[in-house]
Amino acid sequence: MIVQSIHFTFAPDDADEVEAIALELRDASRKEAGVVSYDVGRSRDKPGVFAFWEVYRDAASLEAHLQSEHFNRLVVGRIRPMLKERNFEKVDLL
């Protein structure tokens, strides 16, 4: 399994819009065959900071996610243009 832990930072003024997009992305991603789990959180102390925890069955499942319509529409088209900073870790479960 492949786990991705990603922290995104946005301007506080964009945070509510980002939350709505993130929830739509979460719901669509959870329906993908190779997605084991897909969770999103928002910082209590920093309203513009979000965390995504994504678990994929294998590399092909991750690639399918990156090619999905909802990823391209929501992440590439909407989230990335508002993004200020991204911290990313991809790990293999032991």
pTM of the model: 0.91
The tokens for 15 are 């945070």
Domains (ranges, CATH) in the chain?
A: 2-92 (3.30.70.100)
Q: Report the alpha-carbon distance of residue 56 to residue 34 in Å, rounded.
A: 6
Instruction: Quote the pLDDT of residue 94.
Output: 78
Instruction: Quote the pLDDT of residue 29.
Output: 98
Instruction: Quote the pLDDT of residue 4.
Output: 95
Strands (E), the chain: 2-10, 35-42, 49-56, 83-92
Q: What does the mean pLDDT of the chain come to? A: 96
Instruction: Quote the pLDDT of residue 78.
Output: 97
Instruction: Quote the pLDDT of residue 92.
Output: 79
Instruction: Quote the pLDDT of residue 91.
Output: 85
Note whether 35 and 55 are within 8 A (CB): yes
Buried b (16+ CB within 10 A) or exposed e, 45-70: eebbbbebebbbeeeebbebbeebeb
Query: Which residue stretches of the chain have pLDDT < 70?
Result: none
